[in-house]
Structure 1
Amino acid sequence: MVGVGDTVGVEEEFHVVNGETGDLEPAARRVLRGADAEPELHRSMVETASAVHTGLSALRADLAEKRRSLVDASGRHGLAIVSAGTVPSSGSTPSRVYPDERYERMAQEYMQLVDEQQVAACQVQVGVPDRDQAVRITRRIREWLPTLLALSVSSPYFAGQDTGYASYRTIVTSRWPTVGPPPDLDSAAQYERVVATLVESGVISDAGMVYFDARPSARYPTVEVRVADSCPDLDDVVLLAALARALVTVAAEEDDAGRPLPEAPQVLLRAATWRAARSGLGGHLVDPTTRSAVPAGVRIDALLQHVRPALEARDEWDTALELLAALRSRGTSAHRQRQAGSHREVVLALAAETAKG
């Protein structure tokens, strides 16, 4: 029988850009004709989804192959693929949504929010067979989600400006009505009632529009961790997958042991997310449990110790340490982008990093 955390998968969103100028190009359909990928909200975006895996090596190989498929397909048309929360031209020019009935309905309903939703995320799917437990797990892991965001930050630029944020994607998406930390729910029935109310009220049109930072998947027996920016360096994606799966595993063990569900005011959880989006690893992060600000490195180390038993049980502890050390050494993508030069140079560097796989 498949247990909690036995399987993991990743969905990556990408920008389609002009291979010379680095500007967004509404050319997803051309790319999709020759790539193992799916359309996304905008015509300048595509998405890949890995198969279901049990080990990190196979997951990485799968994601690398899908990136190669996108890079090859885009290159035939003078285009490039970028894995990052935003590119500098994100939000500069409204683009038409991909020709899909659902996307067109969203554009009519949400207007400017859709126009500016030229952002890309990385989502980790962790197997959780029991949906009641999946809801409780999202509540148990939510205090750690801003730390995952801080590791992934890759969106300092928007509408041609340096926003001052490490993850401006987080700020853009925060305006949607169903975004943010998972709510105080403890059963699938409660969760489904909330979703049904949101649909019936017309706030959202379907369950797939619940965009909590972690949620029970609308389609699969998984917990979906959705807080992270897309990452140009594939090693960072693998690190996020390892940490997210370990968080879910530890949360399930706490749930099985009957430990009380953690309490944290939503305002502090939202503040912790904002803090991570603002400074990434370059400052302090908020600990919603102790209600204090701590250096980002301290919070990361606390996360590592929290999930160490789950990582060691899967022989992934050394891998996680190695990947994290590499990330700390090179700096976050947001930090590296600010060292790259012009906006064009930023995007071309991101495209090269994405293609490296």
Structure 2
Amino acid sequence: MGVPWGELAADAPARYTVQRGDTLWGIAARFLQQPWRWPELWGMNLEQIRNPHLIYPGQVLVLTRAGDRARLELAGDEPPLVKLSPRVRAEALDEAIPALPPQVIEPFLADVAVVDPQAHAQAPRLVAGPEQRVLLARGDRAYARGQTGQGATLAGEPLEADRGERRLLDIYRQAQPLRDPQTGELLGYEAQRVGQARLVRPERQELDAQGRPTLEPATVDIVQAREEIRLGDRLLPARMRERQPYIPHAPADEVEGQVVKVHGNAMQMAGQFQVVALNRGREHGLENGHVLALLKNRARVADRTDETRAELLLPGERNGVMMVFRTFERVAYALVLQVTDGVKVGDRFTNP
């Protein structure tokens, strides 16, 4: 196990003390020319990559050599401890260091969901507020429907409690279609969470005194609002925030795809530590921690040295590296870690 000595960074230290604020990728870049080969340097097998030994501030990493290969080890096996008196007690000083800058990826772990077209079309929506208001805030009571139409045209599933319990629902807005840059195929809708609501009473249909069917929407209470909630906002089952270690590693199988979206206000090109959406996901074998190489689009240019102005197709040069940190069925999100030029929609990616 380990990596060839020649794969180490030119100034790789013999020892390094992990600092608060470090990331796994940043530490890997200190030791390796290609930081994504961190698991090889650490001597991890596939199971260890999925359930890695965590690294804590204060621990010392030691670079060892066996023949022509290098390997990284901990100088001690346990997280740094502090002893408190008069009681005998020991506890970890810090949380394990993250693989990626948490402030960059946290919003995508907590507030972004990709839903398939059918789920988006059928998602319940807010239909009324108190005193006919169209803007709602935390603490307001509102009303929602999962169905459409009325009477004979009633369709869809009503918004109901889950096994009699009051359901917690995420409120989403601005669901944007994500389309494959090459085929135009709709991959899903990207929805931004703006708040949460708790279901108080389910949606139901009753008969009035004249025997006519009457629709009663579901009752929800707005329990969280990051911005004003609006009528028409969609409701999806609340989900727990994903927290897991990300260990950079190459996909076992060949992967190719394109960038679907660049994230950021008015962004057309992504730089280092910016997020991009990809047109590949779990069904294509992508998983959290996969490192992918970014390639520039193949540009067509005219040969100005040729009187005929022959059209040339330039090769797609390597442009950088990114790491997948969240996957859906047909879409994944990745963080750009190294880049030469900006990354734009349509740029290709492949194995590193």
TM-score bracket relative to the smaller structure:
under 0.3
User: Larger RCO: Structure 1 or Structure 2 (Cα < 8 Å, ≥ 6 residues apart)?
Assistant: 1
Larger Rg: 2
Scaled by the length of structure 2, the TM-score of the pair is: 0.21
Scaled by the length of structure 1, the TM-score of the pair is: 0.21
